[in-house]
Structure 1
């Protein structure tokens, strides 16, 4: 995976609009679960790629420092060889002086080579450093997006459970309304009132029957007294109202 594709993928994921994606989802909770898994996997892959990119940068930086150190070392060797050649030439030893001058030249060639390699590495190090910084920022953004996704998923899950519970209560209340137990109670109450009225009617009817019987007894008593008084009249006696027992 190239640095460009790594950076492009991280940027795309980090800029993903969660709300817009959720609006298009048939099942937002399932989509969030999948997005959390995808982000987690993408972050793991990106971390590995970024770590490799950082490793390559550190190797390039290490090579650069080695080239700089080598250039400085060859510079010191060239200076030493040139100084020795000057001493020998001053002492009249031109042959050995030329040998040390040649060594100084070789050292200078090596110095130039190391310097050129160090200079060539500088633009690469600068560009890789910029890419690494962008990748790190992208990873931080992805981690933040993952936290946002996880929080959104947890919120949606809680809201879904609450909505389900509210729907259950609503369905239960709706069932109660349809059954209307109060109407059953009212019918049962009416039945009891009718039974109570029937009992009252029976009691009233029974009371009327007893009154009629007692009235019959009173009529018989009056007829007996009338017959007694009639017999007394026929016998020539008189009737009188008496008091007491």
Structure 2
């Protein structure tokens, strides 16, 4: 049962759908690391169990070889005892000949027993040999899967970091988009435009005020001339004041 459970575990791990596990994982990196640890631990367990299975197989093989060797040795002893019995019987020593024939029979019985033990072990040895070979293939498959998983892990982590960096760059570029009115630069530009408009407004207001001042000066000049003429009239120089101001008729004559 232990051998079957090991083989079943290897088959399950080899058939594991890594993509499905990664899709359901909240943190793919942690999932990948856990998969690597699981595979590594399973490989270590499988290696230990396979080593034990191989050890048991080698014991069976050794016992089988010993049974085969014992059968051959007991066969040799039976042959030697039988020949000795034949030799004694030819010499007329029937009693001793019978003893050696009995020894030959005992040796043959031991030979048959050893042969039966060897034959009984052969199917078990064949089955265990097949299991060991399958476990070795499964173990090699696990090691290959682990190597692939490590490579895939490095590739996926590198791609994840690249994607993260690209997202950060894209976010940074978006945050400083000069054409985006909601960006910091856009808001600062709007502030500058308002300040420029304010300055222009102040300049226009100042210019308007200056024009008003000059118009005020012109008005004051006219009032001063009126006051001067009035003073001349009061002092008796009214004719001069009148002369200073040309008559409409004179203006019309001059125009002719």
Same fold (TM over 0.5): yes
Q: Is 2:181 the partner of 1:181?
A: no
Shift in Å, 1:191? 5.5
Q: Distance in 1 between matches of 2:23 and 2:195?
A: 58
Report the more deviating stretch, 158-167 or 125-134.
158-167
TM-score w.r.t. the length of structure 2 is 0.72
How many residue pairs were aligned?
Answer: 205
Q: What are the Cα deviations for residues 90-145 of structure 1, in whole angstroms up to 9, with x where unaligned?
A: 01111111111111011101100100100010010010001001100110111111
Shift in Å, 1:157? 0.9
Q: Distance in 2 between matches of 1:52 and 1:17?
A: 30
Would you identify which runs of 4 or more consecutive aligned residues in structure 1 move more than 3 Å? 182-198
Instruction: Name the Cα RMSD after superposition.
Output: 2.6
Report the more deviating stretch, 20-29 or 139-148.
20-29
Q: Could you say if the C-alpha distance between residues 24 and 191 of structure 1 is closer, same or farther in structure 2, counting changes exceeding 3 Å? A: closer
Shift in Å, 1:182? 5.7
Matching residue of 1:33: 33
Shift in Å, 1:149? 1.4
Q: Distance in 2 between matches of 1:24 and 1:191?
A: 55
Q: Distance in 2 between matches of 1:134 and 1:11?
A: 10
Matching residue of 2:55: 55
Q: Distance in 2 between matches of 1:86 and 1:149?
A: 74
Report the more deviating stretch, 147-156 or 102-111.
147-156
Shift in Å, 1:148? 1.6
TM-score w.r.t. the length of structure 1 is 0.75
SS at match of 1:47: helix
Q: Distance in 2 between matches of 1:189 and 1:32?
A: 54
Matching residue of 2:169: 169
Q: How does 1:67-146 map to 2 (within 5 A)?
A: 67-146=67-146
Matching residue of 2:17: 17
Q: What are the Cα deviations for residues 184-226 of structure 1, in whole angstroms up to 9, with x where unaligned?
A: 357648867987996xx99xx9xxx9xxxxxxxxxxxxxxxxx
Q: Distance in 2 between matches of 1:90 and 1:164?
A: 102
Matching residue of 1:4: 4
Matching residue of 1:147: 147
Q: Distance in 2 between matches of 1:120 and 1:135?
A: 24
Q: Could you say if the C-alpha distance between residues 146 and 111 of structure 1 is closer, same or farther in structure 2, counting changes exceeding 3 Å? A: same
Shift in Å, 1:6? 1.0
Q: What are the Cα deviations for residues 3-52 of structure 1, in whole angstroms up to 9, with x where unaligned?
A: 11111111111111212222222322211111111111011011000000
Q: What are the Cα deviations for residues 39-95 of structure 1, in whole angstroms up to 9, with x where unaligned?
A: 110110110000000000000000000000000011011001101110110011111
Q: Distance in 2 between matches of 1:184 and 1:10?
A: 65
Q: Distance in 2 between matches of 1:189 and 1:23?
A: 51
SS at match of 2:16: coil
SS at match of 2:76: helix
Q: Distance in 2 between matches of 1:95 and 1:56?
A: 48
Q: Distance in 2 between matches of 1:188 and 1:11?
A: 71
SS at match of 2:173: helix
SS at match of 2:92: coil
